[in-house]
Amino acid sequence: MTDTVIKHLLDQNNGNFAVDEFLEHRDKLERPVIEEIAQFRNWTGWPTQITSAWRHSGSHSTGFALDILMWKEWKKQPTPMEMWRRITHWPWLGVGIYFDWNDGIGFHVDVIRTERPRPKRWIRLGGRYYYQSPKTGIFFAENGQNITLMDTIRKHGHRS
């Protein structure tokens, strides 16, 4: 996808991003993720920084995923629960909250459609992933350890 096409998509969705905010290899991003992040930024009214777009590994290599930081004011984040509520009320197909980023609490968002079952919500803490049970809302790791989002927020606080 060319910068011209990306600019056209952004203009159709209130033009609240500059093309270069989609970083390197933006030509490999897919239309739905560009439209969704533009609409999401409009809906929240918060500055939203893309920290990773297309890359060679993982779900980002599909062109349907982004990593983002959200700000109430530049470099001052809303509370983790405010961000979680906003991001999970948007129809992202996958959302991860990352408590181990240097610049604040970050999020993975995607619009990846797949036939195989996959986690829809997760927490990353200290490099370990905890996947949310759709039945209980509890997050669990492969080692059997369970955590809740509220406990994680209490223990690891709000960095801004």
Total tally of structural domains belonging to the chain: 1
What 115-120 contacts at long range (C-beta under 8 Å, 24+ apart), as own/partner pairs, is: 118/94, 119/94, 120/93, 120/94, 120/95
Q: Is 53 inside a domain boundary?
A: yes
**What pTM does this model have?**
0.91
Domain range for 147: 46-156
Q: Is 133 inside a domain boundary?
A: yes
pLDDT in tens, 60-104: 999 999 999 999 888 889 999 999 999 999 999 999 999 989 888
Q: Is 17 inside a domain boundary?
A: no
Q: Is 40 inside a domain boundary?
A: no
Q: Is 1 inside a domain boundary?
A: no
